[in-house]
Amino acid sequence: MSPVPVVRRAVLWVPDWPVVAAMTEAGLGADVPAAVLHGRGLVAVSAAARAAGVRRGSTRRLAQRACPDLVLLPHDEGRDSRQFEAVAAAAEQAVSGVEISRPGLLMIPADGAARFHGSEEALAEALVTSVAEQAGIESSVGMADGLLAAVLAARGSALVPPGGSPGFLAPASVESIALAAMEKAQREEAERLASVLVRLGIVTLGDLASLPFADILARFGPVGAWAHRLASGQDLAPPVLRRSEEDIAVERVFEDPVERIDHLVPVAAELADGLDRALLDAGVRCGRVRITARTEKGHDLARVWRTDVGARAGAFARHMTDRVRWQLEGWLSGTSGTAGREGAPEPAPLVALGLVAEDVVPLGSEQSYLWGGTSGADARAHRALERVQGLLGLEGVLAVAEQGGRSPRDRAHLAPWGQEAPPARAIAHPWPGRIPDPPPATVPPVPRPALVLDAGGGAVTISRRLAVSAPPTWVRLEADPADERARAANRHPSSGHVGRIEGPVWDRPRPVESWAGPWPVAERWWSEDASRRAYVQVALRDTEESQLAVLLAYTSGRWELEAVYD
Amino acid sequence: METAEDRLARARAALEGVQRRVGTTRDRWSAPTLPLAAVLDQLLPEGLRRGRVVAVEGSTALLLSLVAAASAAGSWTAVVGMPSLGVVAAARRGLDLDRLASVPHPGAQAPAVAGACVDGMDVVVLGPRLALSDADRRRLASRARERGAVILSAGPWPGAHVSLAVTGSRWHGLGAGDGRLRGRDLMVEVRGRQSGGTRLVTLPFDADAPARRPAQMPAVQVLGGAA
């Protein structure tokens, strides 16, 4: 925490930012009394509510007593940051770079910007006007040397002359030190320090600044040193400016909607070539490419593909063309992974197609991937898989991952190789009722039928209250399709069939040696893919000395083979 | 500064390597091995040698555990023609799923797909119902020998270097309506092409050690229910 040259800065401050952001999102007018509630207290209060007597930090009940028509809005830090983007963008219309210190507070190095606008007053006016016009939000601007002085100046819309910061800070209350803290933990620490200082009789920042620095450091540690530096008008770090850059993207809008793949493939090749050139011109490489398309009906489709560009210097365009072609085939035929799920748009002709580079890195400094660098073996494996994907199409090669869930099938996540598809369910969630380990090594993609019989040959059932009608004694699974004997036995009149045979070919009955269950799992009862099943683990005698362990599920009156522990 | 002796020694070493590879000399050249879990040493005492074909019949779990250590150590694995591979089981056995690709339905392209995988991947697992003729299999085996890949076949493979057939398995942990599967003993018949005879190995498998992780699987969780 060494002192740095003091920077003259302008601070743009939006009063009560959390509530302003919440009201903007909720579409409320500025005159509505509103407050943001977090936990048990209000964290921000709008001006109208403050006029009605609502105070920050009071409980919901007290606030509603003071102002019965108070609108309470939920606390959401993400919303605060998101909405503030608009303010930052508006401020960037007036100046070239800003630092977002925290949602609600922008910091701008004032020297250059003031020279550009003519004077500091003109800069302040330009900033306030720009934010009010572009983002529709009231703000105030202050200027001073050093961080704390500038923040305090913004609260009073003051322009502290150069060199006047120590004098400006001296009469301020020592509690205002917390305003310079940009993170929650830091602010709590600063508030604790301020309360200790007040109890010691150090009431103003001037009192604090006049104490010897070494004593403060010895008594209060780093936070004391931080407060002393700020109180004496010094700076801790120069502002870190964000620099907005254009996305590297190419897009092609069609005059007539295009439906046929063979018309789109040349466009895809041209776009991929254009993206490659744009990346080269910018001197960068990308780790992922987002393919975007807009359909005639106005749906926006987007899918992110991982590209291993480090391993493919010249062939990027051709490689990308393949990806785009597969993606388009999926979208236009409606067979892509998302098509079956609800909310997926119907296949429709496209009116625009674009590529956007993501994970952009300067040339020559590609990040190594999760599996550690683009080594020869990795590149070789990627090429082999791409070749297989070229042979079989997009869904021919799958990347597998584990996800959260209860049944073994739910816990597997499959996605086309190279496509970014995050698992739908988190593994870390508790998943009560999950089928216990060891996990089965064979999980058929769809459950296969099975028969569970009792000692007399009748079907075993499980009631809604999980009563098993009889101990399971025999289990018949589907026969191996290559098993001629089973097929012949199934055709034989003694199996009870006459004429054409419907349904599965049953293997011979296997005796149950031991079993466990039933374990009920009722999932997603609120949605259409609700499932209510009872699982049973069964060990069957296969041959004289061999057992076959299977996981069976009883659902809506029939038995299904869920998995085999082979 | 390199002396003449050093250069001579290096040249001799290179020449010896070439002679071994083309078979001019009689010493046997052994291919490098992929790592293998310690439990499986009794099945494959000489390790999982690159360029070999190992046939595993009757147990997908055994197949996965053969791949596990190599995959965890950085090998790439392709699984061809096994649509019902248990992903969670693969992860629990120690496979690195980031380096695992599955080709569930190669269909009529099976020889081309398997060939591409043998070219690029370190371990290729071939499913039991692939459309591969005996000639295809011979070609794949010689390609694997050349590229240093390991072929693991689920199901019989004529001319496999080692065949592992599960002849019996005993599960324990289940009762009459209570308990859960806890572990098993596998009886594996090992037949090597070179060793000639047949060995029977009994192998404790899947056993979870309740002493080591008691908190992970309480009985309550097994019986718990509603979503």
Residue B80 in any domain: the answer is yes
Q: Which residue of B has its CA nearest to A538?
A: B174
Residue A320 domain flag: yes
SS3 A550: strand
Residues A71, A139 within the same domain: yes
Question: Which of 135-194 (B) contact A at CB < 8 A?
Answer: 166-171, 173-181, 183-184, 187
**Residues A345 and A454 grouped into a single domain:** no
Answer whether B87 touches A (CB < 8 Å).
Answer: yes
List all residues of chain A from 187 to 216 with a beta carbon under 8 Å from chain B.
none
Chain A from 385 to 424: CB within 8 A of any B CB: 385, 387-388, 391-392, 396-402, 406, 408, 411-414, 417
The packing angle between helices A213-231 and A184-199, to 10°, is: 120
CA A538, CA A552: separation in Å to the nearest integer? 7
Interface predicted TM-score (ipTM) of this complex, two decimals: 0.78
Report the phi/psi class of residue A118: left, alpha or beta, with left for phi > 0 and alpha for psi in -120 to 50: left
Question: B109, exposed or middle or buried, with CB in 10 Å at 0-12, 13-18, 19+?
Answer: middle
For residue A56, with 0-12 CB atoms within 10 Å meaning exposed, 13-18 middle and 19 or more buried, which class applies?
middle
A189 shares its domain with A276: no
The gap from C-alpha A408 to its chain's centroid, in whole angstroms, comes to: 25
Which of 47-76 (B) contact A at CB < 8 A?
Answer: 58-61, 63-64, 74, 76
pTM (global) more than 0.80: no
Same domain for A83 and A100, yes or no, is: yes
Chain A positions in Cβ-Cβ contact with residue B129 (cut-off 8 Å): 482
CB contact under 8 Å between B97 and A516, yes or no, is no
Crossing angle of the two packed helices A147-155 and A213-231, in degrees rounded to 10: 40
B204 interfaces chain A, CB cutoff of 8 Å: no
Find the CB nearest A521 among B84, B90, B225.
B225
What's the sign of the alpha-carbon dihedral B168, B169, B170, B176? negative
User: Residue B224's closest chain A neighbor by CA?
Assistant: A433
As for how many domains chain B has, the answer is 1
In this structure, are A475 and A367 located in the same domain? no
Nearest-Cα distance to chain B for A400, in Å, is 6
Using an 8 Å CB-CB cutoff, list chain A residues near B112. Answer: 391
Do the domain assignments include residue A498?
no
- Give the residue ranges of chain B where pLDDT is below 50: 209-227
The model's pLDDT over B54-83, given as tens digits with 9 standing for 90+, comes to 999 888 989 998 998 888 888 899 999 999
Amino acid in the structure at residue A389 = Q
Residue B100 at interface with chain A, using a CB cutoff of 8 Å = yes
Chain A within 8 Å of B124 (Cβ-Cβ)? no
In a domain, A437, yes or no: no
Question: Residue A173: which of A242, A227, A241, A107 has the closest Cα?
Answer: A227
User: CA-CA distance, A291 to A424, in Å (whole number)?
Assistant: 21
For A228, the token pair is 């002393």
Tell me: do A462 and A349 sit in the same domain.
no
Size of interface A-B (CB pairs under 8 A): 211
Structural domain includes residue B49: yes
Residue A2 tokens, joined: 């060494």
| CA dihedral of residues A424, A429, A433, A438 (deg, nearest 10) | 80
Closest Cα in chain B, distance from residue A483 (Å): 13
- Residues A129, A271 within the same domain: no
Residue A241 within a domain: no
From the list A230, A15, A218, A212, the residue with the least C-alpha distance to A128 is A15
Q: How far is A492 from chain B (nearest CA, A)?
A: 27
Q: Which two structure tokens, joined as six digits, stand for A242?
A: 């964000």
Interhelix angle A261-282/A316-333, rounded to 10 degrees, is 140
Choose the final residue of a domain: A371, A388, A405: A388
pLDDT score at B226? 36
The two tokens of residue A523 are: 């999932």
Determine, for residues A388 and B227 on separate chains, whether the beta-carbon distance falls below 8 Å.
no
A295 within some domain: yes
Residue A2: phi, psi to the nearest 5? -80, 150
CB contact under 8 A, A524 and B227: yes
- Reduced to 3 states (helix: H, G, I; strand: E, B; else coil), residue A537 is strand
Judge if A221 and A119 occupy the same domain: yes
Contact A441 B86 (CB under 8 A): yes
CA angle B139, B145, B148 (to 5 degrees): 130
Other beta carbons within 10 angstroms of residue A516's beta carbon come to 21
Chain A residues near residue B85 by CB distance under 8 angstroms:
400, 441-443
Residue B111 covered by a domain = yes
Laid out side by side, the sheet with B77-80 consists of: A412-416, A398-402, B100-103, B77-80, B123-126, B150-154, B53-57, B162-174, B179-192, B198-205
Q: Bridge-partner residues for A387, per DSSP?
A: none
Tell me the residue range of the domain where B121 lies: 28-163
Instruction: Identify the pLDDT of residue B35.
Output: 84
List the alpha helices (DSSP H) in chain B.
4-22, 60-72, 87-93, 110-120, 134-147, 219-223
We report the CATH number of the domain holding residue B158 as: 3.40.50.300
The answer to whether B105 faces chain A, any CB pair under 8 Å, is: yes
Note whether residue A243 is domain-resident: no
Question: Domain of A426?
Answer: 397-431
Q: Is B114 on the interface with A (CB under 8 A)?
A: no
Ramachandran angles phi, psi of A185, nearest 5°? -65, -40
Nearest to A470 by CA among A462, A482, A480: A462
Determine the angle formed by the axes of helices A110-117 and A120-134, rounding to 10 degrees: 90
- Inter-chain contact B224–A432, Cβ cutoff 8 Å? yes
Mean pLDDT rounded to a whole number for chain B: 82
A550 contacts in chain B (CB < 8 Å): none
Distance of CA A259 to the CA centre of its chain: 32
List chain A residues with CB under 8 Å of B61.
441, 565-566
Q: What is the pLDDT of residue B80?
A: 93
The reply to whether A184 and A217 lie within a common domain is: yes
Backbone angles phi, psi at B49, to 5 degrees: -80, 140
* Residue A239 falls inside a structural domain: no
Q: Which residues of B touch A524 (CB under 8 A)?
A: 227
From the list A389, A179, A346, A383, the residue with the least C-alpha distance to A259 is A346
CA angle (B210, B214, B219) in 5-degree steps: 95
Q: How many domains, in total, are found in chain A?
A: 4
Which DSSP string corresponds to B152-209? EEES--TT-SEEEEEEEEEEEEEBEE-EEEEEEEEEEEEEETTT-SEEEEEEEES---
Distance from CA of A561 to the nearest CA of B (A): 12
Query: Taking a C-beta distance cutoff of 8 angstroms, is the pair B90, B84 a contact?
Result: no
Show the CA angle centred on residue A243, arms to residues A237 and A249, nearest 5°: 155
Please give the radius of gyration of chain A, using alpha carbons only, rounded to the nearest integer. Answer: 34
Low-confidence residues of chain A: pLDDT under 70: 1-4, 241-246, 308-315, 334-345, 363-376, 495-502
- The amino acid that residue B106 corresponds to is P
Q: In degrees, to the nearest 5, what angle opens at C-alpha A228 toward C-alphas A226 and A230?
A: 70
Which long-range contacts (C-beta less than 8 Å, at least 24 apart) are formed by A244-247?
A244/A89, A244/A92, A247/A356, A247/A357
Predicted local distance difference test score (pLDDT) of residue A233: 82
> What is the DSSP secondary structure assignment for residue A515, as one 8-state letter?
E
- Residue A515 to residue B177: CA distance in whole angstroms: 5
Is residue A127 located within the same domain as residue A109? yes
Q: Are residues A196 and A309 part of one domain?
A: no
* Phi, psi for B39 (deg, rounded to 5): -65, -30
CB contact under 8 A, A384 and B119: yes
DSSP symbols for A313-356: SS-HHHHHHHHHHHHHHHHHHT-STTTTSTTPPPP--EEEEEEE
Does a structural domain hold residue A207? yes
As to burial, measured by CB atoms within 10 angstroms (0-12 exposed, 13-18 middle, 19+ buried), residue A528 is exposed
Q: Name B211's Cβ contacts closer than 8 Å, sequence gap at least 6.
A: none
Encoded tokens for A392: 């079989």
Residues of A in contact with B179 (CB under 8 A): 514, 516
User: Using an 8 Å Cβ cutoff, are B150 and B35 in contact?
Assistant: no
Same domain, A456 and A345: no
B116 vs B93: CA distance, rounded Å: 26
> Which residues of chain A neighbour B68 with C-beta distances below 8 Å?
none
Assigned domain for B92 exists: yes
Closest partner residue to A516 (CB to CB) among B87, B98, B178 is B178
Distance CA(A483)–CA(A350), nearest Å, equals: 49
* CA–CA dist A181, B176 (Å, integer): 64
